[in-house]
Amino acid sequence: MTATEFSTSVDHTIRGKVCLITGASRTLGATIAHRLAHYGAQVAINYHQSQRAAETLCAELTNLGTKAVAIGADVTDAAQVAQLIATTQAELGAIDLLVNNVGPYVDTPFLDLSLADFDRILAGNVRATFLLTQAVGRLMKARGNGQIINIAATDIFHRSHSIYGLAKQAVVHLTEAMALELAPAVRLNALAPDLLADNEEMTPDFVAQAIGGTPMGRLVTRAEVAEMVCLLCTPAFAMLTGHTLVLDGGRTIPRIALG
Protein backbone atom coordinates (compact mmCIF):
# COMPACT_ATOMS: atom_id res chain seq x y z
CA MET A 1 0.00 0.00 0.00
CA THR A 2 1.40 3.40 -1.00
CA ALA A 3 1.47 6.40 1.34
CA THR A 4 -1.37 7.95 -0.66
CA GLU A 5 -3.45 4.78 -0.44
CA PHE A 6 -2.80 4.55 3.31
CA SER A 7 -3.83 8.18 3.84
CA THR A 8 -6.97 7.53 1.82
CA SER A 9 -7.73 4.53 4.05
CA VAL A 10 -7.42 6.66 7.19
CA ASP A 11 -9.58 9.35 5.62
CA HIS A 12 -12.22 6.79 4.69
CA THR A 13 -12.25 5.39 8.23
CA ILE A 14 -12.48 8.71 10.05
CA ARG A 15 -14.49 10.96 7.73
CA GLY A 16 -17.81 11.93 9.28
CA LYS A 17 -17.05 10.27 12.62
CA VAL A 18 -17.93 12.12 15.82
CA CYS A 19 -14.90 12.59 18.06
CA LEU A 20 -14.88 13.97 21.60
CA ILE A 21 -11.49 15.13 22.90
CA THR A 22 -11.07 16.26 26.48
CA GLY A 23 -8.72 19.13 27.29
CA ALA A 24 -8.49 19.93 23.59
CA SER A 25 -8.28 23.72 23.48
CA ARG A 26 -4.47 23.84 23.46
CA THR A 27 -1.21 21.89 23.00
CA LEU A 28 -1.53 18.14 22.36
CA GLY A 29 -5.33 18.04 22.49
CA ALA A 30 -5.59 20.79 19.89
CA THR A 31 -3.11 19.00 17.62
CA ILE A 32 -5.14 15.79 17.87
CA ALA A 33 -8.30 17.74 17.03
CA HIS A 34 -6.61 19.30 13.99
CA ARG A 35 -5.48 15.93 12.67
CA LEU A 36 -8.87 14.30 13.12
CA ALA A 37 -10.52 17.25 11.37
CA HIS A 38 -7.97 16.96 8.57
CA TYR A 39 -9.33 13.47 7.92
CA GLY A 40 -12.91 14.76 7.98
CA ALA A 41 -14.01 14.00 11.53
CA GLN A 42 -16.56 16.09 13.38
CA VAL A 43 -14.91 17.24 16.59
CA ALA A 44 -16.16 18.22 20.03
CA ILE A 45 -13.50 20.35 21.75
CA ASN A 46 -13.80 20.07 25.51
CA TYR A 47 -12.24 22.84 27.58
CA HIS A 48 -12.33 23.84 31.22
CA GLN A 49 -11.08 27.43 31.40
CA SER A 50 -9.69 28.23 27.94
CA GLN A 51 -12.95 29.11 26.21
CA ARG A 52 -11.44 31.63 23.81
CA ALA A 53 -8.74 29.20 22.68
CA ALA A 54 -11.36 26.46 22.18
CA GLU A 55 -13.59 28.72 20.10
CA THR A 56 -10.65 29.89 18.00
CA LEU A 57 -9.68 26.29 17.37
CA CYS A 58 -13.25 25.42 16.35
CA ALA A 59 -13.19 28.26 13.82
CA GLU A 60 -9.95 26.88 12.35
CA LEU A 61 -11.40 23.37 12.10
CA THR A 62 -14.61 24.63 10.52
CA ASN A 63 -12.46 26.24 7.83
CA LEU A 64 -11.18 22.75 7.02
CA GLY A 65 -14.71 21.86 5.96
CA THR A 66 -15.84 19.89 8.99
CA LYS A 67 -18.01 20.65 12.02
CA ALA A 68 -16.48 21.53 15.37
CA VAL A 69 -18.04 22.64 18.65
CA ALA A 70 -16.47 23.94 21.86
CA ILE A 71 -18.00 22.56 25.05
CA GLY A 72 -16.95 23.67 28.50
CA ALA A 73 -16.87 21.11 31.31
CA ASP A 74 -14.82 20.09 34.31
CA VAL A 75 -14.31 16.43 33.42
CA THR A 76 -13.64 15.47 37.04
CA ASP A 77 -17.27 16.34 37.84
CA ALA A 78 -19.79 13.58 37.04
CA ALA A 79 -22.70 15.95 36.38
CA GLN A 80 -20.63 18.08 34.01
CA VAL A 81 -19.37 14.96 32.23
CA ALA A 82 -22.96 13.87 31.65
CA GLN A 83 -23.79 17.30 30.23
CA LEU A 84 -20.67 17.26 28.04
CA ILE A 85 -21.71 13.96 26.50
CA ALA A 86 -25.32 15.07 26.06
CA THR A 87 -24.26 18.31 24.38
CA THR A 88 -21.82 16.51 22.07
CA GLN A 89 -24.54 14.12 20.95
CA ALA A 90 -27.09 16.88 20.50
CA GLU A 91 -24.67 18.95 18.39
CA LEU A 92 -22.88 16.23 16.42
CA GLY A 93 -24.52 12.84 16.98
CA ALA A 94 -23.45 9.60 18.64
CA ILE A 95 -19.81 9.57 19.75
CA ASP A 96 -17.60 7.27 17.64
CA LEU A 97 -14.24 8.15 19.22
CA LEU A 98 -13.39 9.40 22.70
CA VAL A 99 -9.88 10.69 23.39
CA ASN A 100 -9.17 11.11 27.10
CA ASN A 101 -6.47 13.73 26.81
CA VAL A 102 -6.87 15.67 30.06
CA GLY A 103 -3.95 14.97 32.38
CA PRO A 104 -2.57 17.64 34.73
CA TYR A 105 1.11 17.34 35.66
CA VAL A 106 3.23 17.94 38.73
CA ASP A 107 6.55 16.38 39.73
CA THR A 108 6.85 17.56 43.33
CA PRO A 109 8.56 14.81 45.39
CA PHE A 110 6.15 12.76 47.47
CA LEU A 111 7.68 14.00 50.73
CA ASP A 112 6.87 17.58 49.72
CA LEU A 113 3.63 16.93 47.83
CA SER A 114 0.54 18.69 49.13
CA LEU A 115 -2.66 16.76 49.59
CA ALA A 116 -4.38 19.26 47.27
CA ASP A 117 -1.96 18.44 44.44
CA PHE A 118 -2.24 14.72 45.18
CA ASP A 119 -6.03 14.90 44.79
CA ARG A 120 -5.89 17.25 41.77
CA ILE A 121 -3.50 15.10 39.73
CA LEU A 122 -5.34 11.86 40.49
CA ALA A 123 -8.70 13.45 39.72
CA GLY A 124 -7.56 15.03 36.46
CA ASN A 125 -5.89 11.89 35.16
CA VAL A 126 -7.74 8.95 36.72
CA ARG A 127 -11.18 10.12 37.82
CA ALA A 128 -11.75 12.01 34.56
CA THR A 129 -10.65 9.04 32.45
CA PHE A 130 -12.90 6.73 34.44
CA LEU A 131 -15.96 8.98 34.28
CA LEU A 132 -15.72 9.58 30.53
CA THR A 133 -14.83 5.99 29.67
CA GLN A 134 -17.62 4.56 31.81
CA ALA A 135 -20.32 6.88 30.44
CA VAL A 136 -19.27 6.92 26.79
CA GLY A 137 -18.26 3.25 26.90
CA ARG A 138 -21.76 2.24 27.99
CA LEU A 139 -23.27 4.13 25.05
CA MET A 140 -20.79 2.65 22.58
CA LYS A 141 -21.31 -0.88 23.87
CA ALA A 142 -25.08 -0.54 23.63
CA ARG A 143 -24.71 0.75 20.07
CA GLY A 144 -22.29 -2.03 19.16
CA ASN A 145 -19.17 -0.05 18.19
CA GLY A 146 -16.78 2.70 19.17
CA GLN A 147 -13.22 3.45 20.15
CA ILE A 148 -11.59 5.06 23.16
CA ILE A 149 -7.98 6.23 23.32
CA ASN A 150 -6.39 7.30 26.59
CA ILE A 151 -3.32 9.51 26.70
CA ALA A 152 -0.81 8.10 29.19
CA ALA A 153 2.91 8.99 29.36
CA THR A 154 6.28 7.28 29.69
CA ASP A 155 6.26 8.46 33.31
CA ILE A 156 4.61 5.08 33.94
CA PHE A 157 8.15 3.66 33.77
CA HIS A 158 9.77 6.21 36.11
CA ARG A 159 9.70 6.64 39.86
CA SER A 160 11.02 10.20 39.85
CA HIS A 161 7.91 12.03 38.67
CA SER A 162 5.87 11.57 41.81
CA ILE A 163 2.09 11.51 41.64
CA TYR A 164 1.97 12.05 37.87
CA GLY A 165 3.64 8.70 37.17
CA LEU A 166 1.31 6.99 39.63
CA ALA A 167 -1.71 8.60 37.97
CA LYS A 168 -0.62 7.52 34.49
CA GLN A 169 -0.01 3.98 35.79
CA ALA A 170 -3.64 4.01 36.90
CA VAL A 171 -4.71 5.21 33.44
CA VAL A 172 -2.94 2.19 31.93
CA HIS A 173 -4.63 -0.11 34.45
CA LEU A 174 -8.03 1.39 33.55
CA THR A 175 -7.24 0.95 29.87
CA GLU A 176 -6.59 -2.75 30.32
CA ALA A 177 -9.46 -3.48 32.70
CA MET A 178 -12.11 -1.51 30.86
CA ALA A 179 -11.01 -2.92 27.51
CA LEU A 180 -12.02 -6.31 28.86
CA GLU A 181 -15.40 -5.01 29.97
CA LEU A 182 -16.13 -3.19 26.71
CA ALA A 183 -14.95 -5.88 24.27
CA PRO A 184 -15.75 -6.88 21.62
CA ALA A 185 -17.89 -3.90 20.61
CA VAL A 186 -15.47 -1.21 21.77
CA ARG A 187 -11.69 -1.06 21.39
CA LEU A 188 -9.83 0.78 24.12
CA ASN A 189 -6.11 1.54 23.95
CA ALA A 190 -3.62 4.05 25.34
CA LEU A 191 -0.72 6.04 23.93
CA ALA A 192 2.28 6.83 26.10
CA PRO A 193 4.38 9.57 24.51
CA ASP A 194 7.73 10.54 25.97
CA LEU A 195 8.89 14.16 26.21
CA LEU A 196 7.36 16.15 23.38
CA ALA A 197 9.77 17.99 21.08
CA ASP A 198 7.35 20.91 20.80
CA ASN A 199 6.81 21.35 24.54
CA GLU A 200 7.67 25.02 25.00
CA GLU A 201 8.32 24.61 28.74
CA MET A 202 11.53 22.58 28.37
CA THR A 203 14.94 24.27 28.51
CA PRO A 204 17.45 23.72 25.66
CA ASP A 205 19.84 21.90 28.02
CA PHE A 206 17.09 19.55 29.18
CA VAL A 207 16.07 18.84 25.58
CA ALA A 208 19.67 18.12 24.58
CA GLN A 209 20.07 15.70 27.48
CA ALA A 210 16.82 13.90 26.59
CA ILE A 211 17.77 13.60 22.93
CA GLY A 212 21.16 12.24 23.97
CA GLY A 213 19.38 9.40 25.75
CA THR A 214 17.01 8.63 22.89
CA PRO A 215 18.18 5.97 20.40
CA MET A 216 16.26 7.60 17.54
CA GLY A 217 18.17 10.83 18.12
CA ARG A 218 15.15 13.10 18.52
CA LEU A 219 11.97 13.53 20.56
CA VAL A 220 8.45 12.63 19.48
CA THR A 221 6.23 15.46 18.25
CA ARG A 222 2.62 16.30 18.98
CA ALA A 223 1.87 15.74 15.30
CA GLU A 224 3.17 12.17 15.52
CA VAL A 225 1.03 11.42 18.58
CA ALA A 226 -2.00 12.89 16.81
CA GLU A 227 -1.33 10.81 13.71
CA MET A 228 -1.14 7.66 15.82
CA VAL A 229 -4.55 8.49 17.33
CA CYS A 230 -5.93 8.51 13.79
CA LEU A 231 -4.12 5.33 12.77
CA LEU A 232 -5.50 3.43 15.77
CA CYS A 233 -8.98 4.05 14.38
CA THR A 234 -8.27 2.15 11.16
CA PRO A 235 -8.97 -1.54 10.41
CA ALA A 236 -5.20 -2.17 10.51
CA PHE A 237 -5.50 -2.10 14.32
CA ALA A 238 -8.75 -4.04 14.55
CA MET A 239 -7.21 -6.68 16.83
CA LEU A 240 -5.50 -4.23 19.18
CA THR A 241 -7.31 -3.54 22.45
CA GLY A 242 -6.26 -3.04 26.05
CA HIS A 243 -2.69 -2.10 25.18
CA THR A 244 -0.46 0.92 25.63
CA LEU A 245 1.71 1.97 22.70
CA VAL A 246 4.90 3.77 23.72
CA LEU A 247 6.09 6.63 21.51
CA ASP A 248 9.53 7.39 22.91
CA GLY A 249 12.13 6.64 20.23
CA GLY A 250 13.44 3.83 22.44
CA ARG A 251 14.37 6.05 25.41
CA THR A 252 12.69 3.86 28.03
CA ILE A 253 14.36 0.62 26.91
CA PRO A 254 16.39 -0.69 29.87
CA ARG A 255 20.12 -0.52 29.20
CA ILE A 256 23.23 -1.56 31.09
CA ALA A 257 26.52 0.24 30.52
CA LEU A 258 29.17 -2.21 29.38
CA GLY A 259 32.81 -2.10 30.37
* Burial classification of residue 19, based on how many CB atoms lie within 10 Å of its CB (0-12 exposed, 13-18 middle, 19 or more buried): buried
Q: Within 10 A of 94 (CB to CB), how many other CB atoms are there?
A: 14
Q: Within 10 A of 18 (CB to CB), how many other CB atoms are there?
A: 20
Q: Within 10 A of 243 (CB to CB), how many other CB atoms are there?
A: 15
Active-site annotation holder among 39, 47, 105, 164: 164
In Å, how far are 136, 201, 217 from 212, measured between CA atoms? 41, 18, 7
Distance in angstroms (rounded) separating the CA atoms of residues 258 and 72: 53
Distance in angstroms (rounded) separating the CA atoms of residues 244 and 253: 15
Distance in angstroms (rounded) separating the CA atoms of residues 100 and 129: 6
Active site residue 47: no
Inter-residue contact 146 to 185 (CB < 8 Å): yes
In this structure, what DSSP letter does residue 214 have? -
Distance in angstroms (rounded) separating the CA atoms of residues 241 and 184: 9
Active site residues: 164
